[in-house]
Chains A and B, each alone.
Chain A
Amino acid sequence: MSLLNKLGITAIGAVAAVALAGIAAAEEPREGGTLIAANEAELGELDPHITCATSSARWVMNHIAEPLVQQDMTDEGSIPPPLIPGLAQSWDVSEDGKVYTFHLQQGVKFHDGTDFTADDVVYNVYRQFDQTTVGRENAPHFYEAAAAAAGWRWDIAGLDFVEAVDDHTVNFHLSHPFNPFLRMFTQTDCGPMGIISPESVEKYGNDGVQANMIGTGPFKFIERVPGDYMVLERFDDYWKEEWRALVDRLVILVMPDVAARQAALRAGEAHIVIAPDPDSLPKLVEEGFVISKGTMPHIWTVSFNEHEAAFADERVRLAVHHAIDREGMANQLLDGTALPGESWLSRTSEAFKEEDRWHAYDPAKARALLEEAGALGTKIVFATSTSGSGQMQPAKMAEWIQRNLIDAGFDAEIQLMEWNAYIAKFFEGFDPEWSLVQMSWGWTAAYWLDMFLNPGNQPDGMMDVGVGDAITAAHQMTDPAAANEAYHAIAEQVKASGWFMPIVNDTAPIVLSPCVRDYPHVSDWQTGFVARTWLGDC
């Protein structure tokens, strides 16, 4: 048991949080100052319609380009965060679930001073949506790169067309019902759905948005130096008083080296450290820093290669499930910064149930199954990357799994590859040598299930467990409760198949300086929203 677990990180965090809450209770939120966050990666493309980078969505898009529907990014308690009005103040859904009518906020201004209207929504959608797929000509400002990154959202939702009914009303017409539609506006994966100023696109061109991103959010873009930092500044004419930024400036530093990030925190050069080293958390807590973590959509997954001959026997697959100690990995190896994976659904999904449990860790049972199948000593090659977005600590975690598999009677090897090479090989089709293939992802919206389970999205080697039609049918249910039951049943079917395995869920720990107040670690990828965070005494 690690020191962190002995001490109980949650308890420490809670004590520190209570102490800080005590200080905060005595203090009124105050305005001003520069909040500095040290991020582990480059901030990605600065165009909401082309970026696929989580860092960009979390730290930049959330603050600058707002969608029609939001999650409450200040609500730490709810899993998932509740849907609340964004640039749409309310919405109606037709009975057949195919027309969404959004009534827009009035008096909203873009950072360039122009007014936000229904035409701007249409303009933004037609920048990304390839209308030739539904037999119409594209808009003059249609952007191929945006269609590549964000087009999948409109495809999966079955968008037919979008129309401005009047200055403050927009209708989205879908070709079929799509019940995750509203949640989709809040999801930060490829092509986050923030609205940008059409005037800025016309002025600077599609390619110029990155250097001149103009939205309606609580912060406006000031400067970016690639590989170094980005500066956002409070937008004084922001329309939503409750989310008006408290700090004057938000600076996001790009610091890939974890030791450098933590040194900057200790030296007072940064207030927030993203992706700290789990091993150093107990020491940081001792030094007075605060650890913030939460429930995330993230799943560190393993797919079983369908071409691996040994996996044709269900008992061998089941042996792998019983052999891997997910709880030990989460609590010991990762120092409590992860939770054991219990479902193929994200923990933040409305379809996930607290009582969901995966196959229990039972190495004796795993060995017995292998003996029964006459497969003791079966060679397993575990493939993963050396690092990468959301990959946590892949080498260490692979070694843990290797040891578990050997203990259960397998002959296990690890293959590590550089992230971009690995992701290319993953999606182009599994290497025939790979037996267990790792990847991490996950979204709150249930269309996460499409990513690896829908046959149309599966690389060669990933098993079609026959749930593609069930997923599509669940998406098209108009009753959300029934849809959630259907998604849950699909996840149970995935578990029963034995071809996929959730290993752990990251809790995305973040280290805060004691000066930081009201940092909301919400239960989704939008955990970097700091408009209501402020700097107190420390």
Chain B
Amino acid sequence: MVRFLAKRTVLALFTLWGVTVLIFILFQALPGDAAISLLGSQAGNPEAVARMRSYLGLDRPAYIQYFVWLGDLLQGDLGQSARFDQPVSKLILDKALNSIILLVGSAVVMFSVGIPLGIVAALRERSLFDRIGMGVIIVLGMVPVFWFGLLLIYLFALVLDVLPASRMYSFHDSNRTLSILVHLVLPAITTAAISITILARVTRASLLETLEAPFMQALIARGIPVRRRIWRHAMRNILPIMVNVSGLQIGWLFSGAIFTEVIFSWPGIGRLIYDAVSARDVPVALGGILVVGALFVLANLAADVATASLDPRRREAM
């Protein structure tokens, strides 16, 4: 297991390094840079552009800019944002925490809706609940996140007026924590929507397949009670699959949250990266992508470890 973890960690570090090289090359290929973006109407003034490029260090060869950034990174410094004159690490930390709040909220919604829905649908296969539940899931899976979010805002914030329409908290609320929780509801549901559909369908299909497996027939023949058959044997068998899918979905939630962040003006890392790319704020974009990539790798690594601990065959394979 230790060897497996070490191997995966080294591989992840190489992957992340490769991503930074790729992103840096892509930035060089894009027209425009931070100097042009900062200067606006003066972007046509060659003297102003040269001054700003020199100030930002953009007049150095691209490979030197990259290695300076990499050297700083190895010393724990992600650089400085050209737009905000703030350390990139501070910008990213603040936004990553906001994204993690959204991610945790979405994961709670995903697990608490997706798994029970899949289990009940499998146990009552072809019932009215199964048909309606799976029908809703299929429709939900096809709805664009953008539209779904706007629909929720219209319904719950504007028509029913029971939940806030946007942002992470309100300047009118005195209790910040409670305000965040209330503001989290709609964005969390929006972000989790597609993952719920996947998790529910995988849970249902896996459970159905397991329920029909020969060992389940053997359990019936041995007179094991139904509750025990399902919860102790069938569910235990589908757990590794669900953990794997959940790991992937958590990664998806992180990247998919950018739509939610835009619709609900949630100040997360997705919007930070998007804005940084638009403004050619390379250190912020690189730092943000690195952090998201690292979290994605960690989520998948955690899923692999959890699967291994649940499935002895997988453990041996490692």
Instruction: Write the residues of chain A forming the contact surface with B, with a CB cutoff of 8 angstroms.
Output: 34, 36, 42, 44-45, 47, 50, 52-54, 144-145, 147-149, 151-152, 189-190, 207-211, 225-228, 251, 253-257, 259-260, 263-264, 266-267, 269, 389, 417-428, 441, 451, 457-459
Contacts and interface: CB of A to CB of B under 8 A. Distances in A.
B254 interface: no
A228 B180 CA distance: 14
Contact of B55 (A145, A251, A389): A145
Contacts of B166: 255, 260, 263-264, 267, 269
A426 B41 CA distance: 11
A416 to B, nearest CB: 14
Interface stretch (B128-136, B260-268, B305-313): B260-268
B171 interface: yes
Q: Which of A149, A189, A227, A428 has the most CB of B within 10 A?
A: A227
A257 B86 contact: no
Contacts of B95: 227
A210 B81 CA distance: 12
Nearest to A431: B31
A423 B31 CA distance: 9
Interface in B153-196: 153-154, 157-158, 161, 164-168, 170-172
Nearest to A209: B85
Contacts of B43: 423-424, 427
A419 B278 contact: yes
B165 A266 contact: yes
A80 B287 CA distance: 45
B30 interface: yes
B275 interface: yes
B204 interface: no
A260 B170 CA distance: 14
Given A149-B42, A457-B45, A269 B264 contact: no
B271 interface: yes
A180 to B, nearest CB: 15
Contact of B48 (A44, A151, A225, A254): A151
A260 B84 contact: no
B20 interface: no
A417 B30 CA distance: 11
8 contacts: A52-B38, A147-B51, A148-B51, A152-B48, A210-B84, A260-B153, A263-B154, A420-B31
B126 to A, nearest CB: 40
Nearest to A420: B32
A266 B51 CA distance: 45
Nearest to B183: A269
Interface of B: 30-33, 35-45, 47-49, 51-52, 54-55, 81, 83-86, 91, 94-95, 150, 153-154, 157-158, 161, 164-168, 170-172, 262-265, 267, 271-272, 275, 278-280
Contact of A152 (B42, B164, B280): B42
A34 B45 contact: no
Given A257-B265, A423-B37, 18 more contacts: A42-B279, A53-B40, A152-B48, A209-B85, A210-B84, A225-B94, A257-B262, A257-B263, A260-B166, A260-B264, A263-B158, A264-B167, A267-B165, A269-B167, A420-B278, A421-B32, A422-B31, A459-B44
B48 A263 contact: no
B41 A190 contact: yes
A424 B41 contact: no
Nearest to A42: B275
Q: Which of B38, B168, B265 has the most CB of A within 10 A?
A: B265
A522 B144 CA distance: 41
Given A42-B83, A420-B279, A451-B44, A260 B55 contact: no
Q: Which of B39, B170, B272 has the most CB of A within 10 A?
A: B39
Contacts of B275: 42, 227
B44 A457 contact: yes
Q: Which of A36, A147, A267, A417 has the most CB of B within 10 A?
A: A267
Contacts of B167: 253, 255, 264, 269
B158 A266 contact: yes
A260 B41 contact: no
B94 A144 contact: no
A264 B271 CA distance: 18
B42 A211 contact: no
B162 to A, nearest CB: 11
